Amino acid sequence: MRIRHLAFLALLSTLAACASRGGNHQILANPGHPKMNEKAPASFNAEFKTSAGAFVIEVTRDLAPHGADRFYNLVNNGYFDGQRFFRVVPGFVVQFGIHGDPQISAAWRDANIPDDPVAGTNARGTITFATAGPNTRTTQLFINYRDNGRLDGMGFSPFGKIIEGMDVVDKINSEYGEQPSQGKIQAEGNAYLESKFPKLDYIEHARIK
Protein backbone atom coordinates (compact mmCIF):
# COMPACT_ATOMS: atom_id res chain seq x y z
CA MET A 1 0.00 0.00 0.00
CA ARG A 2 2.85 2.38 0.82
CA ILE A 3 4.40 1.83 -2.62
CA ARG A 4 1.08 2.59 -4.29
CA HIS A 5 0.67 5.72 -2.17
CA LEU A 6 4.11 6.99 -3.12
CA ALA A 7 3.47 6.21 -6.78
CA PHE A 8 0.21 8.15 -6.66
CA LEU A 9 1.89 11.17 -5.06
CA ALA A 10 4.64 11.08 -7.67
CA LEU A 11 2.03 11.01 -10.44
CA LEU A 12 0.14 13.89 -8.82
CA SER A 13 3.33 15.93 -8.58
CA THR A 14 4.16 15.26 -12.23
CA LEU A 15 0.69 16.28 -13.37
CA ALA A 16 0.80 19.42 -11.22
CA ALA A 17 4.22 20.34 -12.60
CA CYS A 18 3.04 19.80 -16.16
CA ALA A 19 -0.02 21.93 -15.54
CA SER A 20 1.97 24.74 -13.95
CA ARG A 21 4.47 24.68 -16.80
CA GLY A 22 1.66 25.06 -19.30
CA GLY A 23 -0.31 28.20 -19.92
CA ASN A 24 -0.21 29.32 -16.31
CA HIS A 25 3.47 28.74 -15.58
CA GLN A 26 4.61 32.10 -16.93
CA ILE A 27 1.92 33.83 -14.91
CA LEU A 28 2.66 31.91 -11.71
CA ALA A 29 6.38 32.59 -12.02
CA ASN A 30 5.79 36.34 -12.40
CA PRO A 31 4.30 38.09 -9.34
CA GLY A 32 4.16 41.32 -11.34
CA HIS A 33 1.92 39.88 -14.05
CA PRO A 34 -1.37 41.82 -14.41
CA LYS A 35 -3.38 38.64 -13.80
CA MET A 36 -1.67 38.26 -10.44
CA ASN A 37 -2.57 41.80 -9.42
CA GLU A 38 -6.28 42.15 -10.01
CA LYS A 39 -8.59 43.69 -7.44
CA ALA A 40 -10.70 41.11 -5.65
CA PRO A 41 -14.50 41.39 -5.41
CA ALA A 42 -15.91 42.88 -2.22
CA SER A 43 -16.74 39.34 -1.13
CA PHE A 44 -16.17 35.94 -2.69
CA ASN A 45 -15.92 32.26 -1.86
CA ALA A 46 -12.99 29.97 -2.61
CA GLU A 47 -13.46 26.21 -2.72
CA PHE A 48 -10.53 23.95 -1.86
CA LYS A 49 -10.71 20.30 -2.85
CA THR A 50 -8.07 18.40 -0.90
CA SER A 51 -6.92 14.87 -0.17
CA ALA A 52 -8.79 15.18 3.15
CA GLY A 53 -12.03 16.49 1.62
CA ALA A 54 -13.41 19.86 0.55
CA PHE A 55 -13.82 23.15 2.36
CA VAL A 56 -15.01 26.63 1.40
CA ILE A 57 -13.54 29.97 2.50
CA GLU A 58 -15.63 33.14 2.52
CA VAL A 59 -13.51 36.25 1.99
CA THR A 60 -14.52 39.78 2.94
CA ARG A 61 -12.18 42.23 1.22
CA ASP A 62 -12.77 45.10 3.68
CA LEU A 63 -11.21 43.03 6.48
CA ALA A 64 -7.80 43.06 4.81
CA PRO A 65 -7.79 44.41 1.22
CA HIS A 66 -4.16 43.65 0.37
CA GLY A 67 -4.44 40.13 1.75
CA ALA A 68 -7.77 39.48 0.04
CA ASP A 69 -6.42 40.64 -3.32
CA ARG A 70 -3.32 38.44 -3.04
CA PHE A 71 -5.38 35.40 -2.04
CA TYR A 72 -7.89 35.98 -4.85
CA ASN A 73 -5.17 36.11 -7.50
CA LEU A 74 -3.31 33.09 -6.16
CA VAL A 75 -6.47 30.98 -6.17
CA ASN A 76 -7.70 32.32 -9.51
CA ASN A 77 -4.45 31.41 -11.27
CA GLY A 78 -4.02 27.93 -9.79
CA TYR A 79 -1.14 28.67 -7.44
CA PHE A 80 -2.34 26.30 -4.72
CA ASP A 81 -3.11 23.30 -6.93
CA GLY A 82 -0.95 20.35 -5.89
CA GLN A 83 0.51 22.11 -2.83
CA ARG A 84 0.96 20.53 0.61
CA PHE A 85 -0.25 21.46 4.07
CA PHE A 86 3.30 21.42 5.39
CA ARG A 87 2.81 22.65 8.96
CA VAL A 88 -0.02 21.21 11.02
CA VAL A 89 -0.13 22.01 14.73
CA PRO A 90 -3.26 20.62 16.40
CA GLY A 91 -4.96 23.15 18.63
CA PHE A 92 -3.15 26.01 16.86
CA VAL A 93 -2.94 26.30 13.05
CA VAL A 94 -2.56 24.49 9.73
CA GLN A 95 -0.23 26.27 7.29
CA PHE A 96 0.30 26.09 3.52
CA GLY A 97 1.35 28.26 0.58
CA ILE A 98 4.96 27.41 -0.33
CA HIS A 99 4.81 26.32 -3.96
CA GLY A 100 6.07 22.85 -4.86
CA ASP A 101 7.92 24.13 -7.92
CA PRO A 102 11.17 25.75 -6.65
CA GLN A 103 11.23 28.16 -9.60
CA ILE A 104 7.79 29.52 -8.72
CA SER A 105 8.57 29.50 -5.01
CA ALA A 106 11.71 31.57 -5.59
CA ALA A 107 9.79 34.10 -7.68
CA TRP A 108 7.38 34.79 -4.81
CA ARG A 109 9.84 34.77 -1.92
CA ASP A 110 10.24 38.55 -1.90
CA ALA A 111 6.89 39.48 -3.48
CA ASN A 112 5.70 41.18 -0.32
CA ILE A 113 2.38 42.96 0.11
CA PRO A 114 1.82 45.86 2.53
CA ASP A 115 0.36 45.14 5.93
CA ASP A 116 -3.36 45.48 6.51
CA PRO A 117 -4.64 46.87 9.82
CA VAL A 118 -6.09 44.07 11.93
CA ALA A 119 -9.83 44.60 11.54
CA GLY A 120 -10.96 41.12 12.59
CA THR A 121 -9.79 38.55 15.10
CA ASN A 122 -8.01 35.25 14.62
CA ALA A 123 -10.96 33.14 15.70
CA ARG A 124 -11.29 29.43 15.01
CA GLY A 125 -11.79 28.86 11.29
CA THR A 126 -10.40 32.18 10.11
CA ILE A 127 -7.66 32.38 7.48
CA THR A 128 -4.68 34.72 7.72
CA PHE A 129 -1.40 35.36 5.91
CA ALA A 130 1.73 34.36 7.76
CA THR A 131 4.23 37.14 8.33
CA ALA A 132 7.84 37.40 9.48
CA GLY A 133 7.57 41.09 10.41
CA PRO A 134 6.19 44.33 8.98
CA ASN A 135 5.21 44.16 5.29
CA THR A 136 6.52 40.61 4.72
CA ARG A 137 3.39 38.74 3.65
CA THR A 138 3.82 36.74 0.44
CA THR A 139 2.01 33.43 -0.21
CA GLN A 140 1.97 31.51 3.07
CA LEU A 141 -1.30 31.28 4.95
CA PHE A 142 -2.72 29.55 7.97
CA ILE A 143 -6.15 28.53 9.18
CA ASN A 144 -6.77 28.89 12.90
CA TYR A 145 -7.74 25.70 14.70
CA ARG A 146 -8.80 27.62 17.79
CA ASP A 147 -9.40 31.18 18.91
CA ASN A 148 -5.92 32.70 18.55
CA GLY A 149 -6.79 36.26 19.50
CA ARG A 150 -3.29 36.83 20.85
CA LEU A 151 -2.13 36.94 17.20
CA ASP A 152 -4.23 40.05 16.57
CA GLY A 153 -1.84 42.28 18.48
CA MET A 154 1.09 40.80 16.53
CA GLY A 155 -0.24 42.12 13.22
CA PHE A 156 -1.81 38.94 11.83
CA SER A 157 -4.81 40.20 9.88
CA PRO A 158 -7.50 37.62 8.98
CA PHE A 159 -9.38 38.20 5.74
CA GLY A 160 -11.83 35.32 5.62
CA LYS A 161 -13.29 32.29 7.35
CA ILE A 162 -14.27 28.70 6.71
CA ILE A 163 -18.00 28.48 6.04
CA GLU A 164 -18.11 24.83 4.93
CA GLY A 165 -15.88 21.90 5.79
CA MET A 166 -14.18 22.91 9.03
CA ASP A 167 -14.41 19.23 9.96
CA VAL A 168 -12.21 18.54 6.92
CA VAL A 169 -9.67 21.13 8.05
CA ASP A 170 -9.65 19.51 11.49
CA LYS A 171 -8.64 16.14 10.06
CA ILE A 172 -5.74 17.32 7.85
CA ASN A 173 -2.86 14.96 8.66
CA SER A 174 -0.85 16.28 11.60
CA GLU A 175 1.55 13.39 12.16
CA TYR A 176 4.57 15.37 10.93
CA GLY A 177 3.79 18.50 12.94
CA GLU A 178 6.42 21.14 12.23
CA GLN A 179 9.08 18.73 10.95
CA PRO A 180 9.15 19.76 7.27
CA SER A 181 11.86 22.36 6.69
CA GLN A 182 10.53 25.45 4.96
CA GLY A 183 13.98 26.11 3.52
CA LYS A 184 14.08 22.67 1.93
CA ILE A 185 10.56 23.02 0.59
CA GLN A 186 11.59 26.26 -1.09
CA ALA A 187 14.79 24.72 -2.47
CA GLU A 188 13.55 21.26 -3.46
CA GLY A 189 9.77 21.63 -3.69
CA ASN A 190 7.32 18.77 -3.61
CA ALA A 191 10.08 16.25 -4.36
CA TYR A 192 11.42 16.81 -0.84
CA LEU A 193 7.99 16.52 0.76
CA GLU A 194 7.04 13.41 -1.19
CA SER A 195 10.29 11.72 -0.21
CA LYS A 196 10.40 12.62 3.47
CA PHE A 197 6.74 13.26 4.36
CA PRO A 198 4.67 11.17 1.94
CA LYS A 199 1.47 11.24 4.01
CA LEU A 200 1.02 15.01 4.02
CA ASP A 201 -2.40 16.08 2.85
CA TYR A 202 -2.47 18.32 -0.19
CA ILE A 203 -4.67 20.63 -2.23
CA GLU A 204 -5.98 18.97 -5.36
CA HIS A 205 -7.62 22.09 -6.76
CA ALA A 206 -8.69 25.51 -5.53
CA ARG A 207 -11.09 27.80 -7.38
CA ILE A 208 -13.17 30.92 -6.97
CA LYS A 209 -16.83 29.93 -6.68
CATH (domain of 120)? 2.40.100.10
Distance between CA atoms of residues 37 and 20, nearest Å: 18
| pLDDT tens-place string over residues 8-54 | 554 454 444 444 444 488 999 999 999 999 999 999 999 999 999 99
Return all residues near 164 (Cβ < 8 A) that are at least 6 apart.
Answer: 54, 55, 56
What is the tally of structural domains in the chain?
A: 1
The secondary element (H helix, E strand) that includes residue 15 is helix 2-20
Average pLDDT over residues 135-140: 98
| pLDDT tens-place string over residues 162-196 | 999 999 999 999 999 999 999 999 999 999 999 99
Q: Which domain holds residue 149?
A: 2-208
Confidence at residue 24, expressed as pLDDT on a 0 to 100 scale? 86
